[in-house]
Amino acid sequence: MRSKGLELNADTRLSRYLTGYANYSWQAQPVADEIGLWGLNLPPAHRFNAGLDLNYKRYLGNVSIGYVGSAYWNDVINVIYSGPTKAYKLSTPAVAYAGAAEST
C-alpha cells in the first residue's frame, strides 16, 4: 500500500501570556498495490485544528476548533459496521485555576 500526504503546522507566541497554533493535514486516498481497496480504511482527506492557550499567573485557558473530513471504514468481521463517516467539527474550551499548594 502506498499513501501520500502533506502536513503543515504553525505555533507562535502572541504575547507574554498567549500562544496560538494551527495545523492542517491532507492525505490522498491510499493506493493498494496488490490487495485492492477491499478491507482497507480510507482516512479523511482533510484535517484542521487551531487554538489559543492562555497562561496568566494561576489562570490557565485554552480554546480550540477542529475539522475532520469524512472517511470510509471497513469492518472485516461484520460488514454492517462498514461505511462512510460524516465530516465533523469540534470546539473545546477549557479554563483552570491553579490554586496554592497545601502545606503539610
For cell 478491507, the residue is 39
Cell of 66: 477542529
Q: Is residue 72 assigned to a domain?
A: yes
The domain in which residue 69 lies consists of 5-97
pLDDT digits (tens, 9 = 90+) for 15-54: 999 999 999 999 998 877 766 656 678 889 999 999 999 9
**Cβ atoms of 46 and 54 closer than 8 Å:** no
Count of domains forming the chain: 1
Which pTM was predicted?
0.79
**Cβ atoms of 96 and 61 closer than 8 Å:** yes
Q: What is the CA radius of gyration of the chain?
A: 20
Give pLDDT, residue 2.
76
Q: Is residue 103 assigned to a domain?
A: no
Q: Cα dist. 35→30, 44, 50, 58 in Å? A: 12, 21, 37, 55
DSSP state of 42: B
